[in-house]
């Protein structure tokens, strides 16, 4: 089972065209973000830049995207080259980021669900926090820790399915099968419960943590009707969060990373993991 996005980058990009992405995922996320005009933003786990471009087009002042997958970043850069928006894309591990210029807003669509255990979740939340100025906001969507995936309904009519291949417990893998016109592809992420998320976010310096369910856009309702969306809304496989970093900054930065610019942090993380004998994880949920 691949959790490395390099080989599936192009398929994942096409899977963003499924109806639920725009009428539910994107609608809810962008409503939650609100007007980004003038904000400095980092889009973590930006993939091919789906939300990175949206944020810039909506008026965010300085926008950067970072992703672990070089192939995803290549796709994002290709679109930037084709239609320049002034976005900077970086191949980097969110767990190791520490930009010198902190931002107003961090967005991360489907980053936290790649943590396989509470330690990895903590490293991600610390990375998010290090990107933000005190009082900055973190808006994110992830696989839903509140849903019991083994008994979830089929989401096949929306273009994807979920499976739990082993025992349902903390860290259990969740397999997502996306169906495209020319075949299917899979990604796997992991279940960590609500307490694990709130503990990690609290330790990373977030004060306010709000959980929000998905909503359907008015256009999605008009075009497809409520009955079409019911399963997705009643058993949401993904959920949104808005977190605010405490106004008094806390230092969650390991000394070795404290002075690294954004682009060097992933190289430093790789160096450290080589030294400790562990490999940095690639896109696991």
Ligand X SMILES: C[S@@+](CC[C@H](N)C(=O)[O-])C[C@H]1O[C@@H](n2cnc3c(N)ncnc32)[C@H](O)[C@@H]1O
> Cβ 73 to ligand X, closest distance in Å?
9
> Cβ 71 to ligand X, closest distance in Å?
9
Binding site for ligand X (CB under 6 A): 5, 16, 45-47, 50-51, 67-69, 72, 93-95, 109-111, 114, 283
Identity of the residue, 230 or 274, whose beta carbon is nearer to ligand X in the bound complex: 274
> Cβ 45 to ligand X, closest distance in Å?
3
Q: Are 205 and 244 in contact, with CB atoms under 8 Å apart?
A: no
Identity of the residue, 46 or 257, whose beta carbon is nearer to ligand X in the bound complex: 46
* Distance separating alpha carbons of residues 123 and 11, to the nearest angstrom: 28
> Cβ 256 to ligand X, closest distance in Å?
18
Identity of the residue, 75 or 216, whose beta carbon is nearer to ligand X in the bound complex: 75
Q: Are 267 and 257 in contact, with CB atoms under 8 Å apart?
A: no
Is 166 exposed, middle or buried (CB count within 10 Å of its CB: 0-12, 13-18, 19+)? exposed
Identity of the residue, 6 or 198, whose beta carbon is nearer to ligand X in the bound complex: 6
> Cβ 65 to ligand X, closest distance in Å?
9
Q: Are 252 and 130 in contact, with CB atoms under 8 Å apart?
A: yes
Identity of the residue, 114 or 158, whose beta carbon is nearer to ligand X in the bound complex: 114
> Cβ 283 to ligand X, closest distance in Å?
4
Identity of the residue, 77 or 95, whose beta carbon is nearer to ligand X in the bound complex: 95
Placement of tokens 């065209």 in the chain: 17
Structure tokens at 84: 């320049």
| Residue of this chain nearest to ligand X (CB atom) | 47
């Amino acid at each position: 089972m691949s959790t490395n996005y390099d080989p599936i980058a192009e398929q994942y990009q096409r899977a963003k065209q499924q109806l639920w992405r725009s009428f539910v995922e994107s609608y809810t996320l962008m409503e939650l973000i609100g007007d980004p005009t003038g904000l400095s933003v980092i889009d973590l786990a930006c993939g091919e830049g789906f939300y990175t471009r949206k944020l810039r087009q909506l008026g965010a002042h300085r926008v950067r995207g970072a992703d672990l997958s070089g192939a995803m970043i290549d796709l994002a850069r290709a679109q930037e080259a084709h239609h320049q928006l002034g976005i900077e894309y970086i191949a980097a591990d969110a767990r190791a980021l520490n930009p010198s210029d902190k931002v107003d807003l961090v967005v991360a669509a489907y980053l936290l669900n790649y943590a396989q255990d509470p330690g990895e979740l903590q490293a991600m939340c610390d990375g998010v926090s290090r990107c933000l100025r005190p009082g900055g906001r973190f808006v994110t969507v992830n696989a839903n820790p509140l849903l019991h995936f083994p008994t979830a309904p089929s989401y096949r009519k929306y273009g994807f399915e979920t499976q739990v291949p082993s025992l349902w417990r903390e860290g259990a893998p969740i397999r997502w099968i996306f169906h495209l016109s020319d075949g299917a592809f899979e990604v796997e992420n992991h279940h960590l419960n609500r307490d694990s998320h709130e503990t990690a976010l609290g330790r990373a310096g977030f004060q306010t943590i709000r959980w929000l369910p998905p909503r359907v856009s008015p256009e999605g309702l008009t075009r497809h009707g409520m009955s079409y969306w019911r399963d997705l809304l009643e058993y949401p496989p993904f959920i949104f969060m808005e977190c605010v970093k405490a106004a008094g900054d806390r230092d969650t930065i390991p000394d070795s990373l404290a002075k690294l610019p954004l682009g060097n942090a992933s190289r430093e993380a790789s160096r450290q993991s080589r030294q400790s004998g562990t490999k940095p994880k690639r896109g696991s949920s």
